[in-house]
């Protein structure tokens, strides 16, 4: 059974590999946009040999044109699941991606409870 069929999220390496293909930027350009001198670090992220530093999640999401909250969730769940769970518990529940926020807003409008 495939990951998509079982709803298992991709690994950070798998996600980055796919998003880098989709964004049509070179790894060199992406590296420069997130303040790395050499593009080999992007290859290392894609291979899972190096973890994406937390301070690079936002810049990398912007460089790839992806939802930074989704990417942060992916990174934190893979690298620091207990820390991510603690953050969600402190903030009172799951942190929503932009897409999830839009769905919630549409639902609230549909049921007439948008504040």
Question: At 56, which CATH number?
Answer: 1.10.260.40
pLDDT digits (tens, 9 = 90+) for 35-57: 999 999 999 999 999 999 999 99
Q: Is the pLDDT of residue 92 over 60?
A: yes
Q: Give the sign of the dihedral formed by CA 18, CA 19, CA 20, CA 21.
A: positive
* Model confidence pTM above 0.85: no
How many Cα atoms occupy the beta-carbon half-sphere of 90 within 13 Å? 6
Containing structural domain, residue 34:
3-111
> How many domains does one find in the chain?
1
Contact call for residues 66 and 75 (beta carbons, < 8 A) = no
């Amino acid at each position: 059974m495939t990951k998509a069929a079982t709803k298992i999220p991709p690994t950070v390496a798998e996600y980055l590999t796919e998003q880098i293909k989709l964004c049509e930027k070179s790894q060199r350009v992406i590296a420069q946009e997130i303040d790395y001198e050499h593009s080999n670090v992007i290859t290392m992220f894609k291979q899972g040999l190096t973890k994406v530093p937390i301070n690079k999640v936002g810049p990398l999401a912007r460089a790839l044109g992806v939802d930074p909250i989704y990417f942060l969730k992916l990174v934190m769940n893979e690298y620091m699941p207990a820390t991510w769970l603690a953050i969600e518990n402190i903030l009172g529940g799951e942190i929503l991606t932009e897409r999830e926020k839009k769905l919630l807003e549409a639902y609230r409008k549909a049921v007439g409870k948008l504040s």
